[in-house]
């Protein structure tokens, strides 16, 4: 199952590769999908790769190969790329494709899902201890994939270079494992929950911040338990 943004990006990649044979840059993808940062594109690319829709080609800058498209979609018939390489007719393309039948591969943007707002991601407290089922947040279904999810309020600035600011609400997919390089909620020594990038090196687990003011923590695998991975972010502007 793909979110709308993942499907839009897959559509864009498929069309651009067909027309030019060259993968678009992250800046072009960001502009086409009207996202504010390249970190959002990185997450979409990672999601498509994990689901087996694309493959990043090694030793070639930003090179991407489209492996498959959703079975009940015919993206090649949908108008998409203008001369300026923007998705000017994206809504029309969605409507054309959606009229082909039941859309089981893409979650509608308009549908809202109520998720438990677990609390703040703060040292010294496991996620299980934070959860309060009386607090919830409405989240667009387009941010979610398969499985169970929960929301957390970010406290601190250790991930600001990844576009995650103090006070942001992060959407976490529950899981007990994650791919190298994913941003995860990690429980350290069964007592400290933290939001960091997970990396495995030399038999150890590294919890890497996205702020030069903080140091990467290198821990033995038995000390770290993955409690979920980042799949979305909501920011309020006051």
Reply yes or no on whether 236 is catalytic: no
One domain for residues 208 and 122: yes
Same domain, yes or no, for 51 and 84? yes
Averaged confidence pLDDT in the chain: 75
Please tell me the distance from the alpha carbon of residue 59 to that of residue 216, in angstroms, as a whole number.
Answer: 26
Range with the lowest mean pLDDT among 77-81, 175-179, 189-193, 208-212?
77-81
What is the separation of C-alpha 130 from the centre of its chain, rounded to a whole number of angstroms? Answer: 23
Q: Which of 23, 39, 142, 158 is catalytic?
A: 158
Domain extent for 163: 112-234
Shared domain check, 173 and 89: no
pLDDT band at 1 (very low <50, low <70, confident <90, very high): low
Give pLDDT tens digits for 159-185. Answer: 989 888 888 888 888 898 888 999 999
Which of 69, 98, 127 is where one domain is finished? 98
Residues 30-54 pLDDT 10s: 888 888 777 778 778 887 887 788 8
Quick one: 46 and 122 in the same domain? no
Strand runs (DSSP E) across 27-148, as ranges?
Answer: 54-56, 64-66, 112-121, 136-140
- Give the whole-angstrom CA distance, residue 221 versus residue 207: 11
Active site residue 99: no
Mean pLDDT of 78-89: 37
Q: What number is the average pLDDT over the span 48-65?
A: 76
Cβ atoms of 113 and 132 within 8 Å: the answer is no
In-domain check, residue 106:
no
Same domain as 48, residue 138: no
CATH number, domain at 83? 1.10.10.10
Residues pairing with 198 in the sheet: 207
CA distances from 199 to 172, 183, 212, 214 (A): 18, 9, 17, 16
Residue 111 has pLDDT above 70, yes or no: no
Out of 5, 73, 196, 225, the active site residue is 196
- Provide the whole-model pTM: 0.52
**Backbone φ/ψ region at 62: left (φ over 0), alpha (ψ -120 to 50), beta:** left
What pLDDT shows up at residue 67? 86
């Amino acid at each position: 199952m793909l979110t709308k943004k993942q499907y839009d990006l897959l559509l864009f990649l498929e069309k651009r590769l067909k027309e030019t044979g060259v993968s678009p840059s992250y800046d072009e993808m960001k502009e086409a999908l009207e996202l504010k940062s390249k970190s959002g594109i990185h997450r979409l690319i990672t999601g498509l790769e994990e689901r087996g829709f694309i493959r990043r080609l090694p030793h070639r800058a930003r090179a991407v190969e489209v492996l498959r498209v959703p079975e009940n979609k015919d993206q090649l018939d949908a108008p998409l790329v203008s001369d300026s390489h923007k998705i000017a007719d994206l809504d029309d393309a969605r409507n054309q494709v959606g009229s082909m039948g039941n859309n089981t591969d893409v979650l509608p943007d308009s549908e809202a899902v109520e998720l438990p707002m677990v609390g703040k991601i703060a040292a010294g407290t496991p996620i299980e201890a934070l959860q309060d089922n009386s607090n919830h947040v409405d989240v667009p279904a387009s941010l979610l994939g398969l499985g169970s999810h929960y929301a957390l309020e970010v406290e601190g600035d250790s991930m600001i270079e990844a576009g995650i600011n103090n006070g942001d609400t992060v959407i976490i997919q529950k899981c007990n494992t994650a791919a190298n390089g994913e941003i995860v909620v990690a429980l350290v020594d069964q007592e400290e929950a933290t939001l960091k990038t997970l990396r495995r090196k030399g038999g150890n687990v590294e919890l890497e911040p996205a702020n030069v003011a903080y140091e990467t923590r290198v821990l033995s695998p038995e000390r770290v338990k993955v409690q979920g991975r980042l799949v979305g972010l909501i920011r309020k502007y006051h």
